[in-house]
Structure formats: C-alpha cells, structure tokens
Amino acid sequence: MEAMEDNSDFFQSLETALQHYRNSLEKNELRQLKEQFRFFHQSFQSLYDILLRKGLLVEDPYKDEHKISEVTTPPTGPMKESEKKDVISQRLSIYDSILEFLNNYYQFNLDYITLPNVKQLVDIVTYIKWSSFSETSGNLNTKVLAEVVNRIPPGQEDLTNNILTDSVRQLEKKSKTILAILKKIAGYQRERYKYEFRLQMFNSMHFKPEALEEKREEVIKAIKAKFNQHMPGTAYYPELIEEVLDEETGPGAEQRRMDTLKKLEVENKEKETNKPKSFKPLLLEAYRILASAATPLEQAVQKLKYNSSVIENRRLTFSEKFRRWVLNMVQKEGEKKIYEIEYIDQKTAMPKTMRLNFDAFSEEVLKKSKTIAAMGNRMSPTYQKLEQSSEDRLYKILSSTIEDIQNYLIKLPALDTYFKSETPRSQRTFIKGIKLEITAIKNSVVKANQKKHEYVSSKEEEEQLKKMGVSPSEKAPSE
C-alpha cells in the first residue's frame, strides 16, 4: 500500500515537473532553436553561393520545381567518381531547399517536434559532418564537399577562403548549439512519453509488484498486446517501457524516480531587470552576411578592368585619337580612364549620365571589398574591434557600408553596359559580363538590410514595452 502511495506521489511530481520543463523549453529553447536554424541556413548559403559562383558546383536547373512539404534527409548513397560534381551539386541544392522550408514553414512547437521529428532534425543538422569537415571524413557527402572546397588554392583567393573558412566554422558552431537544444527536447519527449504511457495504460492495468519483478517478460508481452488499443497512433518504444518498469519496482526504483525528476529540474535564473538587452548580435550577423558580397565585388571589378583593357587596346580611329589629344591638352585627363556612363536615377526614375574615373573607382571598390570581408571574419582585428563597439556605432557603420555598396550597384551595371556598347562588334565576344556578380551582391545587401530592419524593429518594440511599463524579459515569446 505504501509503495502504491509513493508511486502516486511520484506521478503527481512528474506531472508538475514536466509542465515546468515544457514552459521553460517553450520560453527559451524553442525560440533559440528557430533562430539558430536561421543562422545555420545563412552560413550554409554563404558557402553554397561561393561554390556556385566559382563553378565548383553547378546550378540545379530543377531547383524551383522542388516541392518541399516536410523535412526529409537528402540522398546519402554512393556516387560515381565521374559524377561527383553533379551529384553533390544536386544534393546540396535539395539540402538548401529543405533548410529554406524549415526556416519558413516548420512548426517549432513541442506538440510537433516529437521523438521521430527530433531524430529527423538531427539527421538534417548532421547531413554534413561540420565538426569533422575534411577529405578523410567517413561520411561521403562531407568528404566530397570538403574536396570541392579545397579546390580553391590557399593564398591565391584570400577573401574567398576567409569566407569559406568562417562559414564552415559557423556551421560547426551552430550545429553544436542546435544539437544541444534537440537533446533537451528529446529528453522532455522521452519523459512525456513515459508519463502518457503511465496515464493511459500502465496505471489502469494494476500490475502487482511481484508480477513486475518475477514475471517481467509476461508483463511486457501483455503491455505490447494491448498497446495499440490504449495508445492508438503512438509508436511503441520498448526501451522507454522498460524504463517505466524499472522506475516502478525493484531495489533501485526509488533512486531512478529521483533521477528522472532531477533531469526535469528547471534552473531558476534571476531576472536581469536592470541590465538592458543587447541587440548587438543582430548587427554583427548583418556584417557577416554583408561580407559575402566581398568576393563578387572583387570579381566584378577584375572583369571590368579586363573589359577596359579590351577597349583601351583596340585600334583607335583618327577622331578618337584627336579627342584624347584634346582631353590631354585641355582637361589633363589623357592619362586617366574617364568613361561617360548612363544610369537610372533612383529618385526620379530618369536616365542620367556621369563622367567616372574608372581607375579610382576600381581601386575604391577593391579596397571596400577587403574591408567588408574583414568585417565578417570573426578572426580578423576589424571584426574584433566591431565587437567592442557600441550598438549605435555598429548601426552607423553598417548603414554607411550598405549605402556605399548600393552606390556601387548603380555604377557597376552602368559600366557593364558601357563596355558592351562601346566595344566594336568584332570584339564583343571578349567582353566579360558581370550579371551573376551583381545578383550575388544584391542578395547580400538585401539579406543584410533585413537583419538591419530586424534590429530596428526589436529596438522599437523594446521602447514600446518600456513605455507601457512592461519589462522586455516579461514579454511573451513570439509564435
């Protein structure tokens, strides 16, 4: 009788502990899990986009046709040596689409993230073994992707290598954080499963203590035979059923029950009411995203410099030679490459022209590309200085940098058009286009701007809460 009362007290304590643990997960870990998956995808996209631009991976022509409706693991089977590039390109394209679905449509709540779904999320995060990312990895996809990344010679493309190295480092870091959160959720779901089993089946079967000890196999057979009747639609986990039986009887049962309750204890963290919340991580993340524009900026300038050399080295007509002589005598611009380019004014939507010193502009863009690459590289002195800066200063520098790049996005396409139109038809096949680079730069600016707006919204929301007399820490977690 005393044992039954002890078990009843344990069941009530378990119920209370599970509710407190669930509240803690919903308030803290679930929100963090969603955020970490977003950072994880951004880091993967930085790496993936560079490999596409470098031609080390190939574009998936069917990417827009992938209809992702649930999280599944991309293929992991063997691949022929001659087909490695195509196969890994397709798998990573599918992986990117799955991560995009996960961040836009996945239900980050405990009723949905069941034990099978926890396992599926773990499989997604560990699809590439970021913590052991090398060509000697036992995981085929990891091995092949590492081979692809290592095809970029070290030292020859420092900006690209820095971004790739940082992306892999961030993917390793984020994956560890995500797996730690998923481990907590799995622990909760295991104990919740055992609680539901007790509630819906075990307690109503009224097994005698001696039967649980002496006729264990018969008890398990009886449970398994009636499981679907009592718990329809629920998977049968024999190891969890065994744990329940261990907690109900035997010399170590009481200690096991205490251990279970201890695992569900929630730390009582003191509210830091006087310490203002820092939104600096949002701004630093924007810098890291913007750094992915460094390589395409550099590549665009190198292509345009080549195009300039094509034009400058062509055979000049008499009138062109005379015009250069006049410029040299009157405006002293003969030694400079001054190009008259046409662009669309963003405010008036009207075409305008400007005289652009091409060499000075090229030098400015190349210098800026190195700066923004350093801003996003956590190992660089530039990034470490940013970490020590105030939020206001970070915001101002970010806004100024985005504005500079947006200015380049006016001049670069205009130069691209100029070279294509000014080059004689017989030589146009030598001109290199920069459409892919422009698209990559725009994508980086758009994503960095989104993070910047997220920062502004968070700050405004905090100010509104303060005006209402509500502490930001008391705010209910967002859905």
CA distance 153 to 425: 36
Residue 166 included in any domain: yes
CA distance 427 to 311: 9
Comparing 313 with 125, which gets the higher pLDDT?
125
Residue 335 included in any domain: yes
Lowest mean pLDDT among 111-115, 124-128, 150-154, 302-306: 150-154
How far from chain centre, in Å, is Cα 201?
Answer: 42
CA distance 341 to 356: 7
Give residue-wise pLDDT tens across range 151-180. Answer: 887 665 667 788 888 899 999 999 999 999
| Shared domain check, 211 and 346 | no
* Residue that finishes a domain, picked among 263, 293, 320: 263
Comparing 329 with 382, which gets the higher pLDDT?
382
Its pTM stands at 0.63
Residue 269 included in any domain: no
Question: In the predicted model, what is the mean pLDDT of residues 123-128?
Answer: 97
**DSSP H or E segment with residue 342:** strand 338-344
Backbone angles phi, psi at 33, to 5 degrees: -60, -45
Question: In the predicted model, what is the mean pLDDT of residues 385-394?
Answer: 90
- Top mean pLDDT of 339-343, 410-414, 460-464, 474-478 is at 410-414
Strand 338-344 to 351-357 pairing:
antiparallel
| Shared domain check, 251 and 341 | no
Whether residue 266 contacts residue 184, with contact meaning beta carbons closer than 8 Å, is answered with: no
* Sign of the C-alpha dihedral computed for residues 254, 260, 264 and 269 taken in this order: positive
Residue 268 included in any domain: no
| Shared domain check, 373 and 302 | yes
Tokens of 338: 């001054």
Residue 9 included in any domain: yes
Task: Reply yes or no on whether the pLDDT at 181 is more than 90.
Answer: yes
At residue 105, the 3 state secondary structure works out as: helix
Give residue-wise pLDDT tens across range 263-273. Answer: 999 865 544 44
Task: Reply yes or no on whether the pLDDT at 300 is more than 50.
Answer: yes
Residue 270 included in any domain: no
Comparing 49 with 2, which gets the higher pLDDT?
49
**DSSP H or E segment with residue 355:** strand 351-357
Number of folded domains that form the chain = 2
| Shared domain check, 366 and 237 | no
How many helices (H) does the chain have, and how many strands (E)?
Answer: 18, 2
Residue 186 DSSP one-character state: H
CA distance 71 to 239: 26
Residue 272 included in any domain: no
pLDDT of residue 252: 87
pLDDT of residue 268: 58
| Shared domain check, 383 and 353 | yes
Confidence band for 212, pLDDT divided at 50, 70 and 90: confident
* Residue that finishes a domain, picked among 263, 292, 327: 263
CA distance 306 to 304: 5
| Shared domain check, 249 and 293 | no
Q: Exposed (0-12), middle (13-18) or buried (19+): which is 255, by Cβ within 10 Å? A: exposed
**Helical ranges in 198-271 per DSSP H:** 203-205, 209-214, 216-230, 238-248, 253-263
| Shared domain check, 242 and 310 | no
Give residue-wise pLDDT tens across range 426-451. Answer: 788 889 999 999 999 999 999 999 98
* Residue that finishes a domain, picked among 213, 230, 263: 263
- Give me the DSSP letters along 3-33: HHHHHHHHHHHHHHHHHHHHHHIIIIIHHHH
Domain, as residue range, for 64: 2-263
| Shared domain check, 310 and 256 | no
Residue 273 included in any domain: no
Q: Exposed (0-12), middle (13-18) or buried (19+): which is 471, by Cβ within 10 Å? A: middle
| Shared domain check, 195 and 317 | no
Give residue-wise pLDDT tens across range 318-375. Answer: 566 566 566 555 555 446 788 899 988 777 778 889 999 999 999 999 999 999 998 9
| Shared domain check, 133 and 165 | yes
| Shared domain check, 243 and 319 | no
| Shared domain check, 301 and 185 | no
Tokens of 311: 């034009």
What is the share, in percent, of the chain residues with pLDDT greater than 90? 55
* Sign of the C-alpha dihedral computed for residues 195, 199, 201 and 203 taken in this order: positive
Give the chain's mean pLDDT: 86
CA distance 124 to 171: 12
- Give me the DSSP letters along 418-458: HHHHHS-GGGGGGPPP-HHHHHHHHHHHHHHHHHHHHHHHH
What is the share, in percent, of the chain residues with pLDDT greater than 70? 87
Angle (nearest 5°) at CA 450 between 449 and 454: 115
Long-range contacts (CB closer than 8 Å, 24 or more residues apart) made by 243-247: 243/194, 244/194, 244/197, 244/198, 244/202, 245/212, 245/216, 245/219, 245/220, 247/10, 247/194
